[in-house]
Amino acid sequence: MKLRAPAQTPLFRKTRRGLARPSSGGLALVCAAAALILSALPATLAAREREPNGAYAARRADLTAKLAAPVILFSYTGEENSSPSYVFNQEETFYYLTGHNEEGAALLLLPPGAAEKGWRGPLEILFLQPRDPAQERWHGPRMGPEDEGIAAKTGFAAVEAITGLKARLAALLASYTEIYTLVPHENDTGYPHAREWSEWLSQAAPKVTWRDVAPPIGAMRQIKSPGELALLTKAIELSMDAHFVAMRTTRPGLFEYQVAAKMVETHTWGGCEGEAYAPIVGTGFNSTVLHFNELTRQIRDGDIVLLDVGCQYAGYAADVTRTLPANGRFTPRQKEIYEIVLGAQNAVLAALKPGMSLDLARRNGPNSLYKIAYDYMNAHGADAQGRPLGRYFIHGLGHHIGLNVHDAGDPNRPLEPGMVVTIEPGLYLPEENLGVRIEDDVVITETGYKLLTARLPRTVSEIEAIMAAAKSQRPE
């Protein structure tokens, strides 16, 4: 059987937020603006920042120490999307363990006791595509397995051509009947390429029992290293910069896509390689649609404007939301709902510490942060019919962020130091054209938390003051 890199046929690229996907119309204008900005960036911003090779090697060692069988993983191929505007972004698990954005690559890891079981090869092998000078004339230089200094560049002592993977897999079968990989699940659209290479693995090793490596790696990814925290912080800082721009820009007469374009410009100019998810800017009724990303409505005087926009920096995703009054002043009802949501967020922050839970499953556990937010909002206001507001809190309290805006791992795992999560209570009243969400990013510490978005104002008075100052400086 001729070996080929998996997933050579075009597939839809996975989205970072489950319901958010690029739309025609407004988002197309945002992307066009970002492309123009990117073309003008200095070359120094083109290189993707990453952790040192040793950080990825330590993760690989940590993973293999937990497992008694080998691990095989594949990168994305670069053909997950046939759109000419597609920009390659590595499969997260592969990137987490290698730090490399190479297309069509593979990774083989052996447990520490492999030699005792008869394995005679390296314990770590990075497989790369052979160099193709003709293709590189079109797409630029690539790393190849025969490159000078490739071991130092990649952090792998053994770098081989991917054409040798089948032989390595055959050698494994003499010692192992179980191998770990990313096992595609029936309803899992998160790894669309997985079915391609899963079929190849099954054909190449039909008697092997394939174990899912996603749970142990997901558990590792939930605790962020100092290097990951540094990269996440950069993504969050640039996202906050963009929200400041939005506070100074938003006003009646603009369109949702124009505000989003200004925010994307800030991200791109600062060095982000892209958005962590399709920008969500909703005004009026659109503020009550959780993942609204059509961005086509004109902002009107008296509207509320919800902005859920965050960038991706060095592969790491920020997730930040603010809700603004279109004309710079909250109406009494808008202020009432806003301060209820803010009060719920502050109540959660007061209780936030290791051992507490986002409680996405039960929502009523003894350490449930969700319950704190729900109970607060239910007790502090009512809708137009006099009913408590809890019914309008229709999503979870938060989620982990990292290499994905909804990062890997068990979302109901009790919080531990090193986890980075969002805290995002919200109320959405469609009959009032009024949606409010306040979303901040926190890292859990030994005794509590650190608010990574502390620089971005949350109170009514702070937001109104920024918008008033910006209005006073605009020409009439």
> Per-residue pLDDT tens for 278-333?
999 999 999 999 999 899 999 999 999 999 999 999 999 999 999 999 999 999 99
Q: Which amino acid is at 342?
A: L
In a shared domain, residues 231 and 215: no
249 and 174 housed in the same domain: no
The model's pLDDT over 62-109, given as tens digits with 9 standing for 90+, comes to 999 999 999 999 998 877 777 777 778 899 999 999 999 999 999 999
State what percent of residues in the chain have pLDDT above 70: 86
Residue type, 269: W
Tokens 């192992």, located at residue: 176
Confidence at residue 10, expressed as pLDDT on a 0 to 100 scale: 27
| 3-state helix vs strand vs coil in the chain, percent to 5 | 40, 15, 45
Q: Read off the CATH number of the domain in which 276 is found.
A: 3.90.230.10
Residues 6+ apart with CB under 8 A from 206: none
Instruction: Note whether residue 252 is domain-resident.
Output: yes
Closest CA to 421 of 235, 243, 223, 230: 223
Query: Is 41 part of any domain?
Result: no
* 211 DSSP β-pair partners: 180
Q: What's residue 21's pLDDT?
A: 32
Q: Pick from 199, 221, 243: which residue ends a domain?
A: 221
Same domain assignment for residues 167 and 250: no
Q: 276 with 199, same domain?
A: no
Quick one: 474 exposed, middle or buried, by C-beta within 10 A (0-12, 13-18, 19+)?
A: exposed
Q: What is the pTM of this model?
A: 0.88
Q: Residue 34 falls within a domain, yes or no?
A: no
What angle in degrees, to the nearest 10, is found between the helix axes of 460-473 and 332-351? Answer: 130
Per residue in 402-461, pLDDT (tens digit) is 999 999 999 999 999 999 999 999 999 999 999 999 999 999 999 999 999 999 999 999
Domain span including residue 115: 52-221
**DSSP 3-state assignment of 427?**
strand
pLDDT of residue 201: 81
Tell me which of 180, 205, 221 is where a domain ends: 221
Domain with residue 56: its CATH number is 3.40.350.10
Asked if residue 156 belongs to a domain, the reply is yes
Sole residue written with tokens 């054909």: 203
Whether 261 and 32 have beta carbons less than 8 Å apart is answered as no
| Cα–Cα distance list, 267 to 302, 333, 403 (Å) | 28, 33, 17
**Within-domain flag for 9:** no
**How many whole angstroms separate alpha carbon 378 and alpha carbon 38?**
45
Query: Does residue 393 share a domain with residue 368?
Result: yes
Residue 415 lies in a domain: yes
Model confidence at 133: pLDDT above 80: yes
Model confidence at 43, pLDDT cuts 50, 70, 90, reads: very low
Residues 212, 252, single domain; the answer is: no
User: CA 62, 68, 201, 134 torsion: positive or negative?
Assistant: positive
Q: 426 and 309 share a domain?
A: yes
Number of domains into which the chain is organized: 2
461 and 314 share one domain:
yes
For 142-189, write each residue's pLDDT tens digit. Answer: 999 999 999 999 999 999 999 999 999 999 988 999 999 988 765 554
Higher pLDDT, 3 or 386: 386
Query: Does a structural domain hold residue 293?
Result: yes
In this structure, what DSSP letter does residue 286 have? G
Residue among 268, 315, 5 nearest 135 (CA): 5
Question: Which of these three, 221, 237, 264, is where a domain ends?
Answer: 221
Q: pLDDT for 102-130, tens place per residue?
A: 999 999 999 999 999 999 999 999 999 99
Separation between Cα atoms, residue 81 and residue 449, nearest integer Å: 39
What's the start-to-end Cα distance of the chain, in Å? 71
Same domain as 327, residue 230: yes
Residues 63 and 114 in one domain: yes
Within a domain: residue 3? no
Which residue has 């936030």 as its token pair? 352
Beta-carbon count within 10 A of 142 CB: 17
Angle subtended at Cα 351 by Cα 348 and Cα 354, rounded to the nearest 5 degrees: 115
The predicted model gives 458-467 an average pLDDT of: 98
Query: Which residues, at least 6 apart from 407, have a Cβ–Cβ distance to it below 8 Å?
Result: 221, 222, 317, 399, 400, 401
Tokens found for residue 136: 């590189």
Q: How far apart are CA 126 and CA 115, in angstroms?
A: 19
Is there a single domain that holds both residue 95 and residue 243? no
Token pair 């080998």 is found at: 70
Do 215 and 232 lie in one domain? The reply is: no
